[in-house]
């Protein structure tokens, strides 16, 4: 279960008292925050309550400014490389092999994806994203790293029903920093459908912003969940979710859950 002594998870960033304290500590961030809040309000009004349409518009605006910053971690190329490497190395330590077949949900501009594409056998990487703008950047990443021969699939989606993908195909499904930007109904839709495309013995790793206090969201961009909410949701869809303790030791603000079919495949030990 979640590590003890970690103090960052009890804060409710949506509360006025938290925001006031934060503003006092970082006065230089007030103007950018107000600008972002105004932009987000306008985009929310335009998308009329459709979260995917709203977040797609956020991504279009952020990508136009900086594709690196649009996928989180700021505009620095070094940070972009380091966060991608962290995701890749973690899965390698958990037994990822070239023969695995990976679905990456919210693949962004392939911060980790280019490493997976380079490592996996040709045709074994499938990336989906709601943002056409970031997928154009993903294509640029493929060109930059000369990965044309690896034949990855990149597809825009507007929901997570995954209905265009085959049964039991993917041995690894991966969503890094996607549910941290998703309301519960989006996560629910994903968990309702991911079991169908997951191969026996396969797993679905996703990160999320963990809170041990009340669940909350900020600007409908960042969503904070209690671990038990997500574990329960997975169980409701016949899946088992396990908290990944070893991920907590990495320099990353989010936590990670690993979802598997509830009945482990008798022929293959869980990774
Ligand atoms: C913070 S970025 C992370 C991208 C990538 N996973 C990485 O680590 O670099 C989140 C990505 O998820 C995408 N996204 C957000 N909600 C999504 C959804 N419901 N379905 C698919 N992609 C989504 C965004 O467009 C964005 O590219």
198-210 and 222-225 beta bridge pairing: parallel
pLDDT computed for residue 6 by the predictor: 42
Q: Which of 67, 125, 129 to mutate to test the pocket of ligand 1 (most atoms within 8 A of CB)?
A: 129
Q: Determine the distance separating the centroid of ligand 1 and the alpha carbon of 264, expressed in angstroms.
A: 29
Q: Which of 51, 106, 174, 179 to mutate to test the pocket of ligand 1 (most atoms within 8 A of CB)?
A: 106
Between CA 237 and CA 188 the distance in angstroms is 9
Which range scores top for mean pLDDT: 26-30, 44-48, 57-61, 267-271?
A: 57-61
Q: Which residues of 177-198 are buried (b: 16+ CB within 10 A; e: fewer)?
A: bbbbbbeeebbbebbbbbbebb
DSSP for residue 97: -
DSSP for residue 91: H
User: What are the sequence ranges of the domains in the chain?
Assistant: 51-261
- By alpha-carbon position, which residue is closest to atom 1 of ligand 1? 71
DSSP for residue 78: H
- By alpha-carbon position, which residue is closest to atom 25 of ligand 1? 131
Between CA 56 and CA 40 the distance in angstroms is 11
Domain 51-261 falls in which CATH fold? Answer: Rossmann fold (3.40.50)
More confidently predicted of 45 and 266? 45
Is it the case that residue 7 has pLDDT exceeding 50?
Answer: no
The finding on whether 114 has its CB within 6 A of some atom of ligand 1 is no
Is the pTM higher than 0.75? The answer reads yes
Is it the case that residue 2 has pLDDT exceeding 60?
Answer: no
Note whether 101 and 171 are within 8 A (CB). Answer: yes
Q: Determine the distance separating the centroid of ligand 1 and the alpha carbon of 118, expressed in angstroms.
A: 20
How much is the mean pLDDT over the chain? 91
Is it the case that residue 1 has pLDDT exceeding 70?
Answer: no
Note whether 153 and 168 are within 8 A (CB). Answer: no
Long-range contacts of 79-83 (CB under 8 A, 24+ apart): 80/111, 81/111, 83/111, 83/112, 83/252
Q: What is the dihedral of CA 95, 97, 101, 102, to 10 degrees?
A: 60
pLDDT tens, residue by residue, 132-161: 999 999 999 999 999 999 999 999 999 999
Q: Determine the distance separating the centroid of ligand 1 and the alpha carbon of 218, expressed in angstroms.
A: 17
The finding on whether 178 has its CB within 6 A of some atom of ligand 1 is yes
Q: Determine the distance separating the centroid of ligand 1 and the alpha carbon of 127, expressed in angstroms.
A: 10
Q: Determine the distance separating the centroid of ligand 1 and the alpha carbon of 135, expressed in angstroms.
A: 10
pLDDT computed for residue 205 by the predictor: 98
Half-sphere exposure at residue 22, Cβ-oriented, CA atoms within 13 angstroms: 13
Torsions phi, psi for 29 (to 5 deg)? -95, 0
- By alpha-carbon position, which residue is closest to atom 14 of ligand 1? 106
CA-based torsion, 116, 118, 122, 123: positive or negative: positive
pLDDT computed for residue 190 by the predictor: 98
- By alpha-carbon position, which residue is closest to atom 12 of ligand 1? 106
Q: Give 148: exposed, middle or buried? Use CB within 10 Å, 0-12, 13-18, 19+.
A: exposed
| Residue that has been written with the tokens 């693949």 in this structure | 107
| Residue that has been written with the tokens 């306008």 in this structure | 42
Note whether 209 and 253 are within 8 A (CB). Answer: yes
- By alpha-carbon position, which residue is closest to atom 10 of ligand 1? 178
DSSP for residue 176: S
153-156 and 125-129 beta bridge pairing: parallel
Nearest one of 153, 155, 203, 175 to 104, comparing CA atoms? 175
Note whether 155 and 127 are within 8 A (CB). Answer: yes
- By alpha-carbon position, which residue is closest to atom 9 of ligand 1? 111
- By alpha-carbon position, which residue is closest to atom 27 of ligand 1? 108
The finding on whether 160 has its CB within 6 A of some atom of ligand 1 is yes
Q: Determine the distance separating the centroid of ligand 1 and the alpha carbon of 266, expressed in angstroms.
A: 33
The finding on whether 138 has its CB within 6 A of some atom of ligand 1 is no
């Amino acid at each position: 279960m979640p590590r003890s002594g970690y103090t960052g998870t009890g804060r409710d960033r949506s509360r006025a008292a938290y925001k006031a304290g934060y503003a006092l500590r970082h006065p230089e961030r007030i103007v950018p925050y107000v600008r972002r809040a105004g932009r987000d309000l306008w985009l929310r009004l335009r998308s009329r309550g459709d979260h995917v349409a709203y977040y797609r518009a956020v991504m279009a605006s952020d990508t136009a400014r900086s594709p690196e910053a649009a996928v989180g971690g700021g505009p620095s190329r070094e940070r972009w490389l380091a966060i991608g490497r962290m995701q890749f190395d973690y899965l390698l330590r958990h037994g990822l092999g070239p023969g695995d077949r990976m679905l990456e949900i919210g693949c962004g501009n392939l911060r980790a994806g280019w490493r997976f594409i380079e490592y996996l056998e040709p045709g074994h990487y499938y990336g989906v994203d709601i943002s056409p703008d970031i997928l154009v950047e993903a294509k640029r990443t493929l060109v930059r790293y000369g990965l044309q021969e690896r034949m990855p699939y990149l597809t825009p989606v507007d929901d997570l029903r995954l209905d265009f993908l085959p049964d039991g195909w993917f041995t690894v499904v991966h969503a890094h920093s996607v549910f941290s930007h998703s309301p519960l109904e989006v996560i629910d839709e994903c968990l309702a459908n991911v079991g169908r495309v997951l191969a026996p013995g396969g797993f679905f790793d996703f990160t999320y912003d963990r809170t041990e206090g009340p669940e909350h969201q900020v600007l409908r961009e960042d969503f904070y969940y209690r671990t038990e909410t997500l574990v329960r949701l997975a169980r409701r869809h016949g899946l088992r979710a396990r908290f990944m303790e070893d991920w907590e030791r990495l320099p990353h603000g989010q936590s990670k859950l690993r979802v598997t079919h509830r009945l482990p495949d008798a022929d293959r030990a869980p990774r």
